Amino acid sequence: MVSGRTTRRGFALIDAILGGALLALGLASVVTLSQRSLSMLQRGEHEAMAAAMLDELLAQVVVEGPRRYSENRESTGRLAAPWPDWEYAVEIESGGEGDAWNVLAMVRDPAGVEYRCATRVAPQDEEIEPVERAPEKPIDRPGRLDAQESGGGN
């Protein structure tokens, strides 16, 4: 015959085994979630860096103009420090006479993941030199203010 004390010891052993198994499952899920959050953090960093690089490439196209950019710069290559492991490519297509240019910028991280951004850039009139805009004769602001205060008009 089995005594009550032996039954309680057997129950305590099963209880301890189940508690250990549940603890092991909980710790395994915490470790898995930690690894997943670290990989998502790294992916977010790469996406933020890629967005900054794409923005820089597109800004260069806008500032220089699509035609000058394609004439003066390489369309593919590696980025400068601090990202020498990243590659870039810029594709520029004319939209036609007077229409916006289609610009596609791409960067590729060291792992081979590619990020893209496409936009349209307005054409620039590259034949005309910029004109300095200034009045023909200097404006006498204090004199104009005195004239207005005295009721003399402009």
User: Is 148 within a domain?
Assistant: no
Is pLDDT at 56 greater than 60 in this prediction? yes
Q: Which of 88, 83, 98, 84 is nearest to 61 (CA)?
A: 88
| Whether 86 contacts 92, CB under 8 Å | no
Q: What would the two tokens of residue 121 be?
A: 């850039």
User: Is 28 within a domain?
Assistant: yes
Report, as an integer, the average pLDDT of 51-58: 93
User: Is 147 within a domain?
Assistant: no
Report how many domains make up the chain.
1
Across 21-25, 80-84, 125-129, 133-137, least confident range: 125-129
Report, as an integer, the average pLDDT of 47-52: 92
User: Is 140 within a domain?
Assistant: no
User: Which residue type, as a one-letter code, is found at position 149?
Assistant: E
Higher pLDDT, 97 or 14: 14
Provide the residue range defining the domain that includes 12: 8-127
Is pLDDT at 91 greater than 90 in this prediction? yes
Question: What 3-state DSSP class applies to 116?
Answer: strand
Model confidence at 21, pLDDT cuts 50, 70, 90, reads very high
User: Is 136 within a domain?
Assistant: no
User: Is 149 within a domain?
Assistant: no
User: Is 2 within a domain?
Assistant: no
pLDDT tens across 102-135, in order?
A: 999 999 999 899 999 999 988 776 545 556 777 7
pLDDT tens across 132-149, in order?
A: 777 788 888 888 888 888
Is pLDDT at 4 greater than 70 in this prediction? no
User: Is 91 within a domain?
Assistant: yes
